[in-house]
Amino acid sequence: MAVASRPHRTEPSLPPLTPGPHGRRLGVISIVACFGGLLFGYDTGVINGALRPMSAELGLDPLTEGIVTSSLVFAAAVGALVGGRLSDRFGRRRLIVALAVLFILGTVVLVAAPGFGVLVAGRILLGLAVGGASTVVPVYLAELAPFEIRGSISGRNELAIVSGQLAAFAVNAIIGSALGHIDGVWRIMFAVCALPALALFVGMLRMPESPRWLAEHGEHERALAVLRSVRAPERALAELAAVDRIVSRESTTRMGLLAVAGSPRLRRILLVGIGVGVAQQLTGINSIMYYGQTVLVESGFSESAALIANVAPGIIAVVGGVIALWMMDRLDRRRTLLTGFALTTVCHVLIGVASLVLQPDDPRRPFVILALVVAFVGSMQTFLNVATWVYLSEIFPLRMRGLGIGIAVFAHWTANGALALAFPSLIDAAGITGTFFVFAAVGAAALAFIATQVPETRGRTLEELEVDVTSGAIFRARRGRQVR
C-alpha cells in the first residue's frame, strides 16, 4: 500500500526504466555480489549443526560454546563498523574482493584448528568478513539499483543470506548423517565455506564499482560508463546528473561521528538506523539460527531428529525471502516492519505458552514447538529481515552512508553477539518458556519504536531521500503518512 502523501519532490523526474541488456547486466552483478550474503548465511548457520560434534571432540562446556559461537558475531560488529568506513575510502567493489580473501583465510584457520584458541581465532576472521559483507554488499546493491526496484535488488542479499543458512543446515544434516561417526566431521562442515568464497573473489574481479561512489570521488566518466552498462543511455545521464547535484550541493568531505552527532537531523536518522537494526536482532531470530538444534532437543526431539528437523526453519526462511522480495517494491517499509514485529511477538507468546502447557513427556510437544518456530522464522523472513537490510542501505545520506550503516550494523551485530553468548545459559536457566516470553516483551517495545520513530523510504531515489533527511522533511512521518 502506498503512503497517503509524500513530501514534495525536489529533484527532476527521471526517465522511466526500459528493458534491455542493461537489465540483465544488473541481474548478473547482483547475483555475484550476493555471494557475500551467501557466505554471511553459511558461516553464521553452520555452527548450528557443527557445535555438538565440535564440543564433543574439543571438550567445550556451555561457556566456551557460547564464546565460540559469539566470537564470530562480536567480530562481525567490528567488521561492520570498519567495513563501512573502508568502503567509503577505497570503494565498495575493492572491499568486497578483500572480504572474499578474508573469508578464505578464516575458513583455512578454522578447519585446521587444533584447539579452542585457534578455533576462536578462525571464527574471528570469519566474523570480520561477515560483518564487512553485511555492511558493504547492501550499499553496493542499493547504489547500483534504480529506485523503482531498489527494494527487490537490495533485498536479494538477504535472500542469499537465508539461502546460505539453509545450505548450512542441509549440508550439516547430510554430512552429519553420512559421516557423523568419524572424528572431525565438523571440519568438513566448515570447509564447504571455501567454495562460495572463491566464487565471490573471482566474480567480483569482473564487476564494476558503485557509480555513486565514483561520482563522489570525481570519476565522472567511469561513473557514467557503469550507469550506461546497467541503464538505458538517457536514464544513465539523468541519474548521474542527479548525483552530481547532490555532490555539488553538499560538502565533499566525508562526515565523521562528531559531525553527525552535532547535527540533530543526522543524529536522529542514525538513531533510527541503530534502533531498526537492534530491534530486528532482539527478536531472537539468530538464537534459532545458531542454536536451533539445541532448542529442538530441549523441546523433546532426539539429537539426530533435531538435526534433520532443523532444516524446516531454513526452508521456510528461503520461501519467506522470496515472498519478501516480491513485496519490497509493492508495500511500504513501515507497514512491512510493523506487520513483522506483530507476527513475531505473537509467535514468541505461543512458543512460551506451548512449552509451559505441554509437559516434556507429551509426544505432541516437540512437533508443536517446531511448527511455531517455523511460523516465527517465516514471519521474520517475510516481513522483517529483508525489510531491515533494505531500509539500512537506503536511509543514510551519501556523505555519511558508510559511517551510518557501519554504526547501525555494528549495533545490530553487538545485540546479536550478546544473545549468542547468553542464549545457552538463558535456555539452561529459564528454559524455552521464560526465554520466549522475554523475546515477546522486547517485541512489544520494538512495535512501539517502529510506530513512532521510523519514517518511510519506499518510492524515492537515494538523492531525494538525502534532501528530505538533511531538511528534516522525512521526520514528519506518522503512521505511514508524510505531512508538511
CATH number at residue 316: 1.20.1250.20
- Rounded distance between C-alpha atoms, residue 87 and residue 393, angstroms: 13
The dihedrals phi and psi of 176, each to the nearest 5 degrees, come to -65, -40
Tens digits of residue pLDDT in 246-264: 777 765 556 788 888 899 9
Is 150 part of a structural domain of the chain?
Answer: yes
249: exposed, middle or buried (C-beta count within 10 Å: 0-12, 13-18, 19+)?
A: exposed
CB neighbours of residue 484 within 10 Å: 8
pLDDT at 162 over 60: yes
Cα(3)–Cα(43) distance, integer angstroms: 38
User: What does the longest C-alpha to C-alpha distance in the chain come to?
Assistant: 69
Q: What is the pLDDT of residues 164-205, one digit of tens each?
A: 988 988 888 899 888 877 888 899 999 999 999 999 999 999
Judge whether residue 481 has pLDDT over 70.
Answer: no
Looking at residue 439, its pLDDT comes to 92
Say how far apart CA 265 and CA 474 lie, in whole Å: 10
| Average pLDDT of the chain to the nearest whole number | 87
- β-bridge partners, 477: 482
| Within a domain: 81 | yes
Is 320 inside a domain boundary?
yes
Residue 30 has pLDDT above 90, yes or no: yes
Angstrom distance (rounded) from CA 46 to CA 260? 37
**Amino acid found at 50:** A
pLDDT band at 244 (very low <50, low <70, confident <90, very high): confident
Q: Would you state the cell numbers that stand for residue 311, as one nine-digit string?
A: 532444516
pLDDT at 17: 83
pLDDT of residue 251: 54
Of 51-65, 203-217, 227-241, the range with the lowest mean pLDDT is 51-65
Residue 443 pLDDT > 60, yes or no? yes
Residue 16 maps to a domain: no
pLDDT digits 0-9 by tens, 351-407: 999 989 998 888 898 899 889 989 999 999 999 988 998 899 899 988 888 889 889
**How far, in Å, CA of 37 to CA of 164, rounded?**
7
pLDDT digits (tens, 9 = 90+) for 137-153: 999 999 999 988 998 89
Tell me what the mean pLDDT of segment 269-283 comes to.
94
Is 9 part of a structural domain of the chain?
Answer: no
Q: What is the pTM of this model?
A: 0.77
Residues 315-367 pLDDT 10s: 898 999 899 989 988 899 999 999 999 999 999 999 999 989 998 888 898 89
- Is 194 among the domain residues? yes
188-199: pLDDT as tens digits = 999 999 999 999
- Domain assignment present for residue 17? The answer is no
Asked whether residue 93 is domain-assigned, the answer is yes
**Please, how many CA atoms are within 13 Å of residue 144, restricted to the half-sphere of its CB?**
30
Q: Percent of the chain having pLDDT more than 90?
A: 48
Question: With b meaning 16 or more CB within 10 Å and e meaning fewer, what string describes 254-268?
Answer: bbeeeebeeeebbeb
Q: Give the structural domain span for 302.
A: 22-207+250-482
Residue 253, pLDDT score: 56
Strand boundaries in 333-373, DSSP class E? none
Count up the domains in the chain and report the number: 1
Mean pLDDT score, 37-56: 87
Given a cut of 90, is residue 306 above it in pLDDT?
Answer: no
Strands 477-478 and 481-482: antiparallel
For residue 209, pLDDT over 70 is answered with: yes
Q: Does 86 score more than 50 pLDDT?
A: yes
pLDDT at residue 34 in the model:
95
Q: Read off the pLDDT of residues 12-26 as tens digits, 9 standing for 90 and up.
A: 578 888 888 899 999
